[in-house]
Structure 1
C-alpha cells in the first residue's frame, strides 16, 4: 500500500510539473520564437521518394552532382555535347570504336613524326612527347566502386526474390518488363545515351520546380497505392487463398 501511494504521488507530481512547464513556456514565448507558417508548411511537404536531403546530396554531391545539376554550365554543356557527338558518330554514322581508336592513334603518331622531322630543317628542338601513363589509383577506386554497386544490386535482387516483400517484387518485375520493352526498341548505346541525357535534364528540372512537382507526385503515389490495394484485395488475396498449403503439410506428415 505504501509503495502504491508513493507511485501515485510521484505520478501526480509529474503531471503538475508538465502543466506548469506548459503554462510557463506558453506565457514566456514571444511571437518571434514561434515558427513561421512557411516553416510549418515546409516541414509537412511531401518529397519525392521520401527524400530529406537536397537533390545535390541525393546525387552523391561532388563534381558529378555539379555536372548533372549544371552548376558549371560550360563543363556540363561540354560533357553533354561530347556524349552527343559520340552517339552521332557511333549510331548515326555507324562508326566503330576500334576503327576510331586506330584512326586517332594514326593521326597522332603521324603528326608527331612530321613535327619531329620538320624541326631538323628549321633548327628547333624536337617536340617533347609526354610520358603517357594511366594512373593506378583512380582505376582501382572506380573498379572498387563498381564492384560494390554490383554486389549491392545482386543482394537486393536476392532479397526481393526471397519472397519477403510482395510489393517490391511486383515493382521490380514491372520495371524489368518495361526495360525489356525499351531495350527491344533501341540498342544499348542509344539506351545509355538516353539515360545520360535524362541525368542531365530531369534532376535540374526537378530541383528548379520541386515545389510544383512534389504535390503532383504525392497525388499520383496515393492513386497508385489505392489501385494496388484494390488489386491486392480482388486478385492477390484470391490467388494466395487457393494455394493448398494444408494439403501439402498433410502429405509431408504422411
Structure 2
C-alpha cells in the first residue's frame, strides 16, 4: 500500500517538475484548456462538449473497426472489449482509507478555526483577521475560476523555477522571514497583551 502511495507521489512530483515534457504538457494543457473553457461557457456546456467529443471519437473508432472487420472478414470482436471487461469499481478499503484521511483533515481544520474564532491566542487570531481582510481584496479583484487558473499555472511553473534558482530564492525568503519576525516582535513589544503565552 505504501509502495503504491509513494509511486503515486513520485508521479505527481515528476509531473510538476516537467520530468516527462510530453506527459506534463498534455496534463497542463488539458487542465488549462478546461479552466479557460469554463470562463467562457457554463460547466454544463463544457461537460456536454467534452462528452460529445469523447463519444464522437469512440463511436467513429467503433464503426471504423466494424467496417474493417467486415472487409477483412476477421473476427476480432469489440475494439473496447478489454476496457469493458476491466473492473473500474472502487474498493471499500480505498474508500475507508481516504475517508479517514478526509475526516482527519476536517477535524483538524474545525479545531483550528474554533481556536482562531474564539481567540485562544490573540496574535494568531489577529493574523487570521489580516489574512481574511487581504482575501476580501483578492476576492474583489479575481473570481474563483481566475484564482484556479493562476494556481494551476503556479503549480506547473514555481517548482521548476525554484529548482533552478533554489539558492537565491532561499536566501531572499530567509531575509523576508527574518524581517517579518522582527516586525512582529517589535509590535508585540509595543502593544500590551499581544505577547504569546509561554508554551
State whether residues 68 and 203 of structure 1, in contact with CA within 8 Å, keep that contact through their aligned partners in structure 2: yes
Segments of structure 1 that go 5 or more residues without pairing to the other structure are 1-56, 242-254
Name whichever of 105-114 and 214-223 sits farther off: 105-114
Matched, 1:111 2:54: no
Q: Which residue of 1 aligns with 2:79?
A: 128
State whether residues 37 and 46 of structure 2, in contact with CA within 8 Å, keep that contact through their aligned partners in structure 1: no
- Provide the TM-score with structure 2 as the length reference: 0.69
Q: Which residue of 2 aligns with 1:66?
A: 14
Distance 1:66-1:217 versus aligned 2 partners, 3 A rule: same
Task: Decide which structure has the larger Cα Rg and report it.
Answer: 1
Segments of structure 2 that go 5 or more residues without pairing to the other structure are 1-5, 195-199
Matched, 1:81 2:36: no
Question: What is the CA distance between 1:218 and its match in structure 2?
Answer: 2.1
Distance 1:207-1:85 versus aligned 2 partners, 3 A rule: same
SS of corresponding position for 1:67: helix
Structure having greater relative contact order (Cα 8 Å, sep ≥ 6): 2
Question: What is the CA distance between 1:136 and its match in structure 2?
Answer: 0.5
Q: Can you list the C-alpha shifts for 1:126-184, whole angstroms capped at 9, x where unaligned?
A: 43333165340496255544443333322322233343333332332323333343233
Quick one: which of 128, 132, 141 aligns to 1:176?
Answer: 132
State whether residues 115 and 127 of structure 1, in contact with CA within 8 Å, keep that contact through their aligned partners in structure 2: no
Matched, 1:151 2:145: no
Question: What is the CA distance between 1:223 and its match in structure 2?
Answer: 1.9
Q: Name the Cα RMSD after superposition.
A: 3.4
Count of matched residue pairs: 180
Q: How does 1:157-196 map to 2 (within 5 A)?
A: 157-196=113-152
SS of corresponding position for 2:111: helix
SS of corresponding position for 1:171: helix
- Provide the TM-score with structure 1 as the length reference: 0.56
Q: Can you list the C-alpha shifts for 1:194-242, whole angstroms capped at 9, x where unaligned?
A: 11221222223223322212222222222222322333344x42xx59x
SS of corresponding position for 1:81: helix
Q: Take 2:149 and 2:94, find their aligned partners in 1: how far apart are those partners?
A: 23
Name whichever of 186-195 and 155-164 sits farther off: 155-164
Q: Which residue of 2 aligns with 1:25?
A: none
Q: Which residue of 2 aligns with 1:100?
A: 49
